[in-house]
Structure 1
């Protein structure tokens, strides 16, 4: 008897596992005992046969029926069948995922049937928590994107492959730093203090978006609503992204796939800073702060480069009847726009699946991970300094020394780049093994073990020519840091599939999950070294540590998560669907009185197309109404918030001498518990005209209660004046619409297009409860020096993401700001009061729109992805800091610094920098995000090459926006979204050429 692990088998075998017991019940006269033991005399045997795929793989559980009769059977675990009775008539062979065949018997006694895949049906298979389902059976909001529909883009992680493909999922790449990863938010902000990223599972094992090579991914499924994600308990609050990697399938000759591409980048847009000639004009005009140092230097050009990036991926896979394997290796070398920002990454992977004892036992084991190496990490001061450093300053003085000024936030960018040394090595190793036992058909008992180990070493050194020595007299500075994280997991599940007479079908799941995470860090620094030759490799040579002026620290934390879960999926006649799940979960992060929480979910579906009143409506292909409700939780990042932690501080006189005291550093809270997100989702799935038009509509409401936040308490009785506790709630609501069209489909030409739209509104309903209270708001964010004000206000009854500051309405005749006071009347900025501040806008888009197109003409293909965000504002911090005449005293300024404001006159030279609404600009944008052209030539049959595809692409091709900054695509995560940081790494346009080879 055979058994197949879901993540390492073809979709047809997934269906075999799910439906074989149903087919047994449907044809009780032809049980597996009948087929395997063949206790039938030869006189009664009409036909023996086998059903296989085009690759020769047996099809398990295929239906073999004599047309027009109830005489039928199903194929066994080797694809074989025996049909008793007459030798006349027409045989009908069918199985989900394949094109049904009708074959005249004509007295045949043996037959081999080859089924062809119905790719349209196979595409409807989606991955859900701990299993798979046909899309038709889904009762929750789940979106699946297959590899052939990925965005063909150079991407740092898996999220880039589905950017713009999933309604409600925001994927942001705010800069071109080769170390950056995507920022993702699903259906808005649901928490104040915890993370907002969805749970990432790679073949069922927790990971990160960059834990797997994008070239090694077969499918990405997104569980969007609470009823789908509740099976993961506290980890599912922000949604779940399930990544399925490529596998080998059944008997398969060894094949090799090679994917390679090279690319280069150009800065997408430069801030219009004054050139040396423009700056010298201001010197001649006598502007305060402008000074001529005799040179002409384009500092931004000096630090920039044209990066050349290259990626090579090789994939080997194959298999026999009992054993399958896949081995892959990726190498990626990515340079950044800023010099000395090169990252090299390798992704090795090996996975083996072996079946034994007539497939009653299956063992699946794999090793994967990555190794990443780079020099010094990007220093945020380099780009900012290149913008504002005086363009008349020489790079070096007459003595060959870097020109430096003893002033904070004003550095020679080339000195920062060239007078540092460093190395960073990060290694991620992921190991997993799964043992699956199938004692009876339809029952799978699975045990999964996994371990992920992450190690990172960082070494950093500033030479004696660095400003840390020339300005701060450190005489060489070095630091070393190590980091290790180990995540262990074991899961035990039992899953049973059964179909009953009368059209009833049941899938039942029960499981146990255990997770432990251990994190360790160590850091030390030192300075005053005798020579630069030691770099960071002889830390003891510095004298600062001996003098008590340097740092040495270590840290370790550990936490556990345990869960018991179950789920039932019920299907009646393909019309009515029910799914119900529950997870009981405990975490060491919570208080002694609230270690455990329970997270239920239920969802239903109604396939209206199968009802008699719609079944004969020919233009309607599919119509299903679904509704779901689920509760999930949230875990805080710090594992010790509920405990009374201690630290060293202060001195006490004991035993005749002064002794360092051990004292409480936090208040314990045994009542600290889960945040609970309660989500309702109502959806409609539809298709018309043989799926030429299809789509879905979802409306959701999310209420998150018991928000974790820091509250002020009195001392005594508390030992500290703050405590972390549960109080308050957030509400998110939204609408998501996905539409897919095939406007043109001929023998030579096809046009596929998809549009998805999503909107989200949120409100901080409360920040208090009966025990803990606040003043109803908190101000967050930072404009940095010299303004140094908070940027956002989080307030009860208002939306998350509100900018909070002074509303500018005009300037006076002298060029000073006029703001709107608390009473709504104009007043000079010099008379500002705290209560004059107002909501200036919001950094979270009201709605997103994405439009994806694919054109195919013979062997050519063209894909265009476009996306936009609308109804939000951006705080343009570069303009706020660099577009004012007063900034000439701090360095270079933007060309527009001397333009008229409000159409009247420039700002006054003595108007100090201010955070006012003038710099909070509309951020609406529409991007032509990616354009890819490919060619797949027809390859004549040969023993070497099976397929070739060459392509070229442009990413971040064009942006349509009124926003005046370098890129309107800015941070949308956390409580302070929408800020265009003046330290931001610039954005890039990427040009790529690639080739895919199959051998």
Structure 2
């Protein structure tokens, strides 16, 4: 019966589709065919220009020779010709059957469309701080994720790549830190309107990236918009009249950009001969441990995109394969992406259907944790293996053979991400568009690790093989329903938007580990074979978790334009989230308003020829931050230890959280004032923005008395933080001719941060400051301090100002400023000072593009200035008291302050001597390409080859391996001694279009 119903359903669907196609075919039989050619101001053909029938979704794309053919319903139809970088033109068909169009260049892109929340607008109509990055500006070569494409391209958007791990990802921060205990400091990332991250899609699939930086632009996203919004638009199917195949591929390799300068075996033997180190510490070997665990990796990437269809139905299919080996042996990432996009137009554009399918499969392995620390610490005279062919282990506390660590451990992970989304658009009357976006995605990841019987854990801890397994699954669903109405009344242009949004998240995870295996044959794939659980050993564990959240929002926006001169945009979102269930404020309201005044359209500037655009912008918007856990506002119970009662053990429940019915959103209230400008036929253009952010209701955990409270901490919205800054963008086109072109852009940003308060009438913190960061074992203690009234990022420690003749520190007394000898100085918190700050004050980016005939050359550079770095490697490996079997930096035996070598009786210590200036200038990307002339090659539309480098050069005085360190959280500027070193990448590639 069930099979019969399925067959009948399929038959009905086929009948419906055939009926619709028959209706459309009748309509098309009455249409008029228009042909023509699209050229630029130099008479060159413009391929891939879009030709649309105005008011419909019917359109085509010009071919390689700029020619097109399109069917229009009647002679009153209007054709809209558009292409990125050119001014859009509209032509009434009338009696014409051939329409040729010559584009004029739009150097500042006033007619370009920019994607904003739940819609799009012309660049000329933008009233907020919004930046659009197009494909021609992307970083080229072997980028790890989408984030690297726009590194250094957007003022105020800081994207850091602090690791060379092929499985790693970029960190993102926009306009400073906005929370202490919020969910995330990352911007909201949307891929075709659906939340995701930089790894969701292949970099090859990106059509454009739009960044909503200020509150007035992001407020329509409510609680997810506090950190800004990055809207990624993928390449879509289009109404082309021909099929097209694009293939791109690159091969690359990497090298460690800078090595830690450690003592080698010859250095050790020299120090032994000089009596500095005991003879017993020469193991007879000569080992470069970094060379032993690293390799010259191979990177390959292949991308194939197929497009086709007609004005009614069109499709795009994209496939990507990437295999990236890491510098460390056995580290890699293998990824396969497949994405399909299909459009179907019905009833002359009255109804439009779009469906997108995305699937990504990842396999990866990483040995970043602990390996680099072991490489730096392990003695260079220790051989890799002993005379019996076994791994040489020196038996040093917490230090083991790094080669053995890698080779005797399997550490891998696999994941599968699937997403299907569809959009239904109905245009029932002129100007009205009803749209429904539905999305479902599922992410499943499983992985684990196995340590063999030859692993140090067996030798040291007697585990006899150890296995870990973990898995997690996330399912996300999204529904967006919007209605948009556009109406022009004389000089008044209106756009009204209203909508509803629902999304939910269901995440599950489980993990377990077991030890004491009889054999290594099965690895982690027969974890029940181990005997630790059966024998009552402590070397096993298991656990599982599930989290369900949802978010509901109602929103609206109005856009108003009068004579292309005065522009207004206002929005409102009312939103509720499950994290605030049980509180008095589960719903939040987030308004925004922004204004624009195009001075160029005023009489006093309209006829000034050298001014092409001048627009003032001002905006204000409120956004929120979601709490990072569920049920924070209600009292909860948690399982504790067991008690023995009446002859049996019983699990106990104890209070784990105090109720706080007044818990609410963190709210960011942001004001932005900006100016857009363009001069001299738009050869010079750019923008200036000033912003002021006030984050109100910061979440913080306060110590409270018990009783009357259930536990001794309560989370409450009390704090306030401020961020303000300036962002500048300057674009220039010094030269532009048919054969030679040079364009450049320069962006600058600065940010100031202040924690205003953490107190109110009810809650008061225990201290007037917050500590953060970790100096690590055996130094212990925080590295940073955030004072109320102070700024994030301050290093807090002892300040040394000199060294005595015995190689002992001389400190500064924080109360008097006087020098204090080492033996007289008390190591207490009261003697610590602010000794630097890990957040850069200024960021600068400079990007250049040069074309000479068929050659193209681009250079992307960026820098950070006005900050300090805590060099953990120097702090740990310049100390000579630590075990003589540990390796050290060559600089450990250099005179400190040019006076004396550090005394070998001094303990490891965190002080200002290891704080360094982090200012740097990076030449990120250099690319040289050549585009072949393919006019006489049948079926080949274009061909280009290129060579590229990433992380090419760094100009800095910083002594560590890379001055680009983490700038997120409350402890920025800590350069860990245990990380995956950054790499320099070399790539050669080819792009073909058929």
- Indicate the larger mover: 629-638 or 695-704: 629-638
In structure 2, what is the equivalent of residue 643 of structure 1?
Answer: 634
User: Does the alignment pair 1:160 with 2:145?
Assistant: no
User: Does the alignment pair 1:455 with 2:444?
Assistant: yes
Cα pair 2:668 2:696 within 8 Å, conserved: yes
Once the two structures are superposed, residues 934-974 of structure 1 have per-residue CA deviations (whole angstroms, 9 ceiling, x without a partner) of 00011133432110000001111111101010010110111
Cα pair 2:87 2:111 within 8 Å, conserved: no
CA distance in 2: counterparts of 1:125 and 1:324, whole angstroms: 22
Structure 2 counterparts to residues 556-571 of structure 1, below 5 A:
556-571=546-561
Once the two structures are superposed, residues 120-178 of structure 1 have per-residue CA deviations (whole angstroms, 9 ceiling, x without a partner) of 34873211111111111000000001111111132111111111110000111012110
User: Does the alignment pair 1:783 with 2:775?
Assistant: yes
Structure 2 counterparts to residues 299-448 of structure 1, below 5 A:
299-375=289-365, 377-448=366-437
Cα pair 1:139 1:604 within 8 Å, conserved: yes
In structure 2, what is the equivalent of residue 124 of structure 1?
Answer: 112
Deviation of residue 657 (structure 1)? 3.3
CA distance in 2: counterparts of 1:159 and 1:112, whole angstroms: 44
User: Does the alignment pair 1:950 with 2:945?
Assistant: yes
Once the two structures are superposed, residues 772-814 of structure 1 have per-residue CA deviations (whole angstroms, 9 ceiling, x without a partner) of 2112211111111121121111211111011110111111221
> Which of 98, 121, 128 matches 1:112?
98
Deviation of residue 640 (structure 1)? 3.2
Once the two structures are superposed, residues 450-498 of structure 1 have per-residue CA deviations (whole angstroms, 9 ceiling, x without a partner) of 0121100112110000011011101110111111111111111101111
Q: How many residues align?
A: 932
In structure 1, what is the equivalent of residue 169 of structure 2?
Answer: 181
Cα 1:118/1:778, change in 2 over 3 Å:
same
In structure 2, what is the equivalent of residue 826 of structure 1?
Answer: 819
CA distance in 1: counterparts of 2:671 and 2:112, whole angstroms: 24
In structure 1, what is the equivalent of residue 618 of structure 2?
Answer: 627
Structure 2 unaligned blocks of 5 or more:
1-26, 39-47, 57-69
User: Does the alignment pair 1:209 with 2:209?
Assistant: no
In structure 2, what is the equivalent of residue 967 of structure 1?
Answer: 962
In structure 2, what is the equivalent of residue 475 of structure 1?
Answer: 464
Deviation of residue 408 (structure 1)? 3.7
Deviation of residue 434 (structure 1)? 1.0
| Secondary structure of the structure 1 residue equivalent to 2:881 | helix
Cα pair 1:705 1:728 within 8 Å, conserved: yes
Deviation of residue 78 (structure 1)? 5.7
Cα pair 2:54 2:79 within 8 Å, conserved: no
Cα 1:497/1:51, change in 2 over 3 Å:
farther
> Which of 806, 809, 814 matches 2:806?
814
Structure 2 counterparts to residues 710-721 of structure 1, below 5 A:
710-721=701-712
Cα 1:922/1:386, change in 2 over 3 Å:
same
Once the two structures are superposed, residues 96-132 of structure 1 have per-residue CA deviations (whole angstroms, 9 ceiling, x without a partner) of 7676889999xx9554324455563487321111111
CA distance in 2: counterparts of 1:102 and 1:719, whole angstroms: 70
CA distance in 1: counterparts of 2:103 and 2:472, whole angstroms: 48
Cα 1:759/1:289, change in 2 over 3 Å:
farther
| Secondary structure of the structure 1 residue equivalent to 2:595 | strand
In structure 1, what is the equivalent of residue 980 of structure 2?
Answer: 985
Cα pair 2:685 2:730 within 8 Å, conserved: yes
In structure 1, what is the equivalent of residue 65 of structure 2?
Answer: none
User: Does the alignment pair 1:836 with 2:831?
Assistant: yes
In structure 1, what is the equivalent of residue 134 of structure 2?
Answer: 146
In structure 1, what is the equivalent of residue 494 of structure 2?
Answer: 506
User: Does the alignment pair 1:243 with 2:251?
Assistant: no
CA distance in 2: counterparts of 1:803 and 1:707, whole angstroms: 22
Cα pair 1:737 1:756 within 8 Å, conserved: yes
CA distance in 2: counterparts of 1:218 and 1:625, whole angstroms: 29
CA distance in 2: counterparts of 1:677 and 1:268, whole angstroms: 40
In structure 2, what is the equivalent of residue 617 of structure 1?
Answer: 608
| Secondary structure of the structure 1 residue equivalent to 2:344 | strand
Cα pair 2:113 2:121 within 8 Å, conserved: yes
CA distance in 2: counterparts of 1:911 and 1:485, whole angstroms: 51
Cα 1:96/1:812, change in 2 over 3 Å:
same
Structure 2 counterparts to residues 653-692 of structure 1, below 5 A:
653-692=644-683
Cα pair 1:585 1:598 within 8 Å, conserved: yes
Cα pair 1:509 1:567 within 8 Å, conserved: yes
**Please, what is the CA RMSD of the aligned residues?**
2.3
Once the two structures are superposed, residues 717-740 of structure 1 have per-residue CA deviations (whole angstroms, 9 ceiling, x without a partner) of 112111221111110010000000
Cα pair 1:625 1:683 within 8 Å, conserved: yes
Structure 1 unaligned blocks of 5 or more:
1-35, 40-47, 64-76, 85-91
In structure 2, what is the equivalent of residue 198 of structure 1?
Answer: 187
| Secondary structure of the structure 2 residue equivalent to 1:969 | coil
Cα pair 2:114 2:132 within 8 Å, conserved: yes
CA distance in 1: counterparts of 2:928 and 2:666, whole angstroms: 47
> Which of 763, 772, 788 matches 1:772?
763
| Secondary structure of the structure 2 residue equivalent to 1:471 | helix
In structure 2, what is the equivalent of residue 252 of structure 1?
Answer: 241
> Which of 281, 286, 289 matches 1:296?
286
CA distance in 2: counterparts of 1:62 and 1:361, whole angstroms: 12
Tell me the TM-score normalised to structure 1 length.
0.90
Cα 1:720/1:103, change in 2 over 3 Å:
closer
| Secondary structure of the structure 2 residue equivalent to 1:691 | coil
In structure 1, what is the equivalent of residue 751 of structure 2?
Answer: 760
In structure 2, what is the equivalent of residue 730 of structure 1?
Answer: 721
Cα 1:411/1:942, change in 2 over 3 Å:
same
- Indicate the larger mover: 826-835 or 278-287: 826-835
In structure 2, what is the equivalent of residue 45 of structure 1?
Answer: none
CA distance in 2: counterparts of 1:102 and 1:777, whole angstroms: 62
Deviation of residue 987 (structure 1)? 1.1
User: Does the alignment pair 1:976 with 2:966?
Assistant: no
CA distance in 2: counterparts of 1:756 and 1:858, whole angstroms: 28
Cα pair 1:455 1:482 within 8 Å, conserved: yes
Deviation of residue 442 (structure 1)? 1.2
In structure 1, what is the equivalent of residue 273 of structure 2?
Answer: 284
CA distance in 1: counterparts of 2:666 and 2:984, whole angstroms: 41
| Secondary structure of the structure 2 residue equivalent to 1:346 | strand
Cα 1:734/1:380, change in 2 over 3 Å:
same
Once the two structures are superposed, residues 587-630 of structure 1 have per-residue CA deviations (whole angstroms, 9 ceiling, x without a partner) of 11014211000000000000000001110000000000010000
> Which of 763, 784, 792 matches 2:784?
792
CA distance in 1: counterparts of 2:408 and 2:443, whole angstroms: 30
Tell me the TM-score normalised to structure 2 length.
0.91
